[in-house]
Every structure is written in structure tokens, then in C-alpha cells.
Amino acid sequence: MDAVPLWAQILALFFLIFLSAFFAMAETALMAANRHKLRHLAQRGNKGAATSLWLLGRTDKLLSLILIVNTLLNALATALVTAIAISMFGNEETIITIATAVVAFLLIVFAEISPKVIGATYPERLSVIISFILKPLMSLAKPVIWFVNLFVSAFLRILFIKTGHSGHEQRLSPEELRSMVLEGGNFIPQKHKSILLNLFDLEKISVEDVMTPRAQIEALNLSVPVEEIKGQLTTCYHNKLPVYEGEINRIVGILHVRKAMSLLNQNELTVEHFRELLTAPYFIPEDTDVFTQLQYFQENHERLGIIVDEYGEVQGLVTLEDIIEEMIGEFTTSMPGTARTEGFGWDKNGECLLEGATTLRDINKQLKLDLPVDGPKTMNGLLLEVLRDIPEASVGVKLPGCAVEIIQVQNQAIKVVKLIRMDDPDQERQAA
């Protein structure tokens, strides 16, 4: 070392620290890089992103290369600082200790922490550049990597640790995908984000949550006079009607109103003419989740299903449009007499007037409340469950986040309620 000038030794030291910093930054950048972003860039023709994905598909070899080189660089840097210290100050134990401490400090600050912070801050941007250097290095160091990995594999087998193939794609759970969408921030338009989040929720809700309740089903009764049937057909709201005989639980088919309209001009029209036009009803168990039902609609080429409970009693009706609206929001006009699921909110006084048939899920969405949805599906059902009786008007009930005043009760059902927002704990105590 005496033949090498001091300035050359110091320059070599800084070069070793620089190389160590590069590999530390490379390791962090590649491990922190978002593979979905890299894949998107690669599909658009970015060769650096494609090379980064190639390296990440061989994570074990990549880490072996980086760690082998980094260890050698740090060892060389320590030995070089020791040699510089001995040549300048002699073979003193104190000097060697101080020199070791100095090189350790330099490596920690400039070759570990700082480059790794930089790599974690700009992972994709750095990965597409660094990959062009690491890929040829990996090819050159292949024999060394293979030799080292022999001992690594043997050691892991002794510890009974099974390592999967590094090229396998990591699978994301629905909740992880949901978190990615929520953290998308301004990168995803609000409407798109809302649709994606609703799509994730389809497996969590059942057809009961989106159905038209039994009391609001528009259906045709074949037991009434033909003139009454004709009158109902000319004023009906939907293109398809469930058809029953006597009572709603005896559904015999589905009638396409457009086909039936051609019969109305016949002189000797009978119930049998309508019966000939019926298609078989499609029944759905009440606990079927919405996403599964969407698949069933597609597989069976159906658009309307009758929801029944375990006893075969009709509970409601669900259509393909109901499920689509659950994903993208309302796009059809509500049937007269049914509760609106949009267009309501808190007024300036923190109050909201609602129909009792409004679903709790819609109330939670529109008013940002946290009403329980694992039991009754509507505000009317929730209040009846809480009160355990059919109440009179002007009765008040406290629910999570709001107080509810019953405005109108009709035909053993709560028709209209007023919600009063309670953001202040003092308000909640007063309501209680």
C-alpha cells in the first residue's frame, strides 16, 4: 500500500462507498417498486420496466447478487480505511478502533440509510434505470450466485423453511384491492372509484338488500276479472310482471307486457290467453349474495328473479337492473309508491325527512351514518325491531348518530320519519 499515493487510496474509499450506496439503493428501489405500475409501463414499451419485472421474477438471485457485492464492498472499505490509518498514524490499537468507527459511520450514513431512503422515495423511477446495470451483472455473477445459494438452500432445509418460486405472482385479496382503490386519491376519478368500491361490496350483501320488497311488487292476479287485468296492463309500470293466482305466493309465471298488449283488442279474451304467454318463473334463495346472483343471471339468461325464503314464501323481487344500479348508482325512474334511494340529505338544521321503506344501506350511504344492516333492511323494520311494537306518530327513538321521530304510521307500517343528526355528544345525552 506504500506505493499507492494517499489521494488514490482516499479516492478508492469514496468509490467503494459510492458503489455500496448504489447497490443498497437498488435493493430498496426494486423491492419497493409497485409491480402493477411496472407492468403498465412495460406494456407501453418501457424496456427498463420490463427488465425490472424480469429481475423481480428472480428475487432470490437478485438479492444474492446485491448482498454478495455489498458485503464485499463494505469489507474492502473497512480494510482500506484501516490501511490508511496505519500508514498515517502507525499500528496503534486506538487508531485502528477510531478508523473502524469512522468507516462504520460513513457506511451507515452514506451507503445504507441515505440511499435506501432515496430508493424508497422514487422506486419505479430508479428501478427502470438500475435494472439495465443489474441484469448483465447477474449474468456475469451466475456461478458465484449458484454456489452461494447451494448453502442457503441447505440451511433453509435444515430449518424446515419452504421457499416458493419467486416468479409466482402475488395474489391480492379483495380487501387489499379495496385499500388500493381507496388510496388511489386523485389518480382515480371519484365516479370510477365509487363503482369499483361498490363492486367489491357485491359479495358482502345479499339479494335481500337490493330487492323490491313483497309489498311493493307490481304483479298480475289471474283470479280477477279479465277487464281488471286489461286495465292493469294498460297502466302497468314495468315491461315484465310476475303473475300469480289468488295470492302472491302462488306465482305461476312471468308475463312480457309487450306481448300481452297485442291481445287487448280481442273480443273474446280469457285468462287462458294470458296464461299461454307466461314464461317459467325464476326463483332465488333469499341469502344469495348479489355477486353470485349476477353470475346466475348471466348463466341462465335471466333478468328477473323472485326471492323466496326457506318456506317458499315470496319475499321480494330482484332484477338485473337492480344489481347494476347497486354498482353504478340510480339510472332508472322509481316506481310510484316506492321509496327514493337518492335525492335526500341533511338540511341546514341537520334534519332529513324519509319514507319508512327507505333501505338502511341507502341511508348509511347518503347520510354517512352507521345504522345496523345485519338485521332489518329498512328504516321501518329497524324501528319496529327496536320498539317491539307498532308505534304511534310523534314517538322518538335514538339510533347511532341520529335521533328518529316517527311522523306518519299507516296500515301497521311506519310511512314517514324525520332523522335528526347528532354530531355533538351533548345532543346524544339529551336525546337519551
What pLDDT, in 10s, does the model give residues 166-183?
Answer: 444 556 677 777 777 777
DSSP-based three-state secondary structure for 388: coil
Mean pLDDT value across residues 184-212: 78
Mean pLDDT value across residues 408-428: 77
Distance CA 107, CA 109 (A): 6
Distance CA 340, CA 26 (A): 56
Per the CB < 8 A criterion, the answer to whether 19 and 111 are in contact is: no
Closest to 77 in 3D by CA, of 55, 52, 103? 103
Alpha helices, H only, 368-423: 379-387
Per the CB < 8 A criterion, the answer to whether 377 and 371 are in contact is: no
End-to-end CA separation in angstroms for the chain: 86
Closest to 310 in 3D by CA, of 290, 286, 292? 286
pLDDT of 288 higher than 80: yes
* Long-range contacts of residues 191-194, Cβ cutoff 8 Å, at least 24 apart: 194/329
Supply the DSSP symbol for 406: E
* Chain position carrying cell 339479494: 207
pLDDT of 387 higher than 50: yes
pLDDT in tens, 119-153: 999 999 999 999 999 999 988 988 888 888 888 88
Question: Lowest-pLDDT range, 86-100, 211-225, 386-400?
Answer: 86-100
* Long-range contacts of residues 1-5, Cβ cutoff 8 Å, at least 24 apart: 1/83, 1/87, 2/87
* Chain position carrying cell 296500515: 411
pLDDT in tens, 229-268: 888 888 888 889 999 998 899 999 999 988 888 888 777 8
pLDDT of 2 higher than 70: no
Retrieve residue 428's grid coordinates.
346524544
Distance CA 312, CA 296 (A): 19
Q: Which domains does the chain have, with CATH numbers?
A: 6-158 (no CATH), 171-201 (no CATH), 207-328 (3.10.580.10), 351-431 (3.30.465.10)
pLDDT band at 337 (very low <50, low <70, confident <90, very high): very low
Residue 262, burial from CB neighbour count under 10 angstroms (0-12, 13-18, 19+) = exposed
Res 285: pLDDT: 92
Closest to 128 in 3D by CA, of 35, 44, 49? 49
